[in-house]
Amino acid sequence: MKNLIAVFVLALGALVSGNAQDKMMKDDKMMKDKAEVISLEQTPGEFTKKELTVKAGTYVFEIHNNNVGHDVGFVLVEKGKDISKPENHIQTAYVTEAVATGKTQHSKPTKLERGEYVYFCPLNPTATDNTLIVE
């Protein structure tokens, strides 16, 4: 009887945990569905778009690695803040995993307010003056 109760408790725990994970995944999908996509491409040493202007809102960054030859990433920082300090990075804008050559990865939904931002790749030494203007 004790074994049966233990199995029931474990199964119930797994079900509750699975339901929580399902809810988190659904919430994340809903946020992505509401977010617009900003697509950026990296080539060796640079982003192909140097300046973008968008309206305030929620965005997902889509980063494509076009034959860089190694993994790339993405960092977004409010203009004027020290880009070398990770605490200044808008961490939801990081891609969820490094982007391999020929692949595309996405960030989490990121709410952008009016202002200016700079973006760069720490793995593909790109210029740090790429600008994102949010109106």
Q: Say if residue 21 is in the same domain as residue 45.
A: no
Q: Say if residue 104 is in the same domain as residue 87.
A: yes
Q: What is the pLDDT along the chain (135 residues), one digit of tens a residue?
A: 444 343 333 443 444 445 555 544 444 454 445 899 999 999 999 999 999 999 999 999 999 999 999 999 999 999 999 999 999 999 999 999 999 999 999 999 999 999 999 999 999 888 888 999 999
Report yes or no: 19 and 13 within 8 Å, Cβ to Cβ. no
Q: Considering the entire predicted model, what is its pTM? A: 0.75
Q: Say if residue 27 is in the same domain as residue 45.
A: no
